[in-house]
Amino acid sequence: MSPLYPDASPDIAELRAWLRKLVEGRFADWPEQMNRHGKFTPEMVQVFAEQGLLGVRIGEQYGGAGMSLRQYCLIQEELARASPILALLTSSTSGLTPMAIERHGTQAQKDRYLRSLTDGRARSCFALTEPEAGSDAASLRTRAESVEGGWRLNGIKHFITLADDCQLMMVMASTDRSKGSRGGITALLVDVPSEGLAVTRVDRTIGTPAWTLGEITFSDVFVPAGNVVGEIGKGFAIAMESLDEGRLNVASLCLGAADSLLARAAAYAKQRRTFGAPLADRQAIQWMLADSATEIAAARGLIYSALDAMEAGRPLGASASMAKLFASEMAFRVADRAVQIHGAMGVVENSPVGAMFRDLRLFRIGEGASEVQRMVIARSVLADT
């Protein structure tokens, strides 16, 4: 870790050291296992549960660790040193949907769902994106009509992470088309399986096979009235609150992956010899390493600055978008340089740096594409001038 950014406290430093030992020891071969099995294995889920890495932000009364956003981001940063996809196992039990329940759910919802997320029985997904409403989340068309005892849900969601491997979905649905995002969208908890719910297509990404994107079709799915998260019509605000923190999650795992790639590239450059000298003696290679180290330090500064602001009571807003934008694009550049330094070893089928290169490309799109982050940042700049 760069000495420019020492850990904020002894507790954070201790957490990092413990995680680093796990990642470099017990989890070292997990990326290869995920490639071979194409999914998170039951053993992985069990080990994560035993180590307290599921539901880390959920309260202790529900079996979680009650950690702060800073601690959660650190966990994601360190897990991503093995594989950024590995961090999805924690985020599916500690991220968007779980935290919406923790903050806005009823006591009955917390009692029913949270403990199953912390003990490994369940994982969640966040169903927002649609065929005609991706980055433009306010234009979603999935509709929930009020019926006796609850809601009747119809529509399609797609490109939903882990839709085919979850037991709980938080679905954003229109409950009043006339109000749009300003009071017309409601967050609903949908159990899997439910009658009328089908995962109608599963797409593999260019990255690790364990990261799947599913299309979900809702055909007259009944959702009980007690499964509304927060207030009716307040779903868009809940989604945006969740996405702000989700962007710091993505930024953090990009940071961890990039830091790991830099270490791999530097080690290989010192070991690999060409024309009678190590690659590390070549100025071209040194400049790649220098640029990567500088950009990693800059990304760390943006992420930690956003966390500092949040802990001081200031809203995340544009600072989360800045961190996500810069970190996701930075990590892909670092991955590209790492592949280049490894040469042919970087592009063979089982290359760890090649796998990270493919995985990291996804994060320039997921949790809001780079172009959307620039829109958020620009709006903030214009509003302040």
Amino acid occupying residue 149: G
Q: Pick the catalytic residue from 102, 245, 295, 367.
A: 367
DSSP string across 307-331:
HHHHHTT---THHHHHHHHHHHHHH
Taking the chain, what is the end-to-end CA distance rounded to the nearest angstrom? 37
Active site residue 367: yes
Which phi and psi (to 5°) does residue 82 adopt? -80, -50
Report CA 140 to chain centroid distance, whole Å. Answer: 22
Q: Which of 78, 87, 69, 76 is nearest to 307 (CA)?
A: 69
Residues pairing with 166 in the sheet: none
**Taking the alpha carbons of 122, 123, 126, 132 in that order, is the dihedral positive or negative?**
negative
**Full DSSP string of 103-149:** HH--HHHHHHHHHHHHTTS--EEEE--BTTBSS-GGG---EEEEETT
Q: Do the Cβ atoms of 223 and 190 come closer than 8 Å?
A: yes
Name the residues annotated as catalytic. Answer: 367
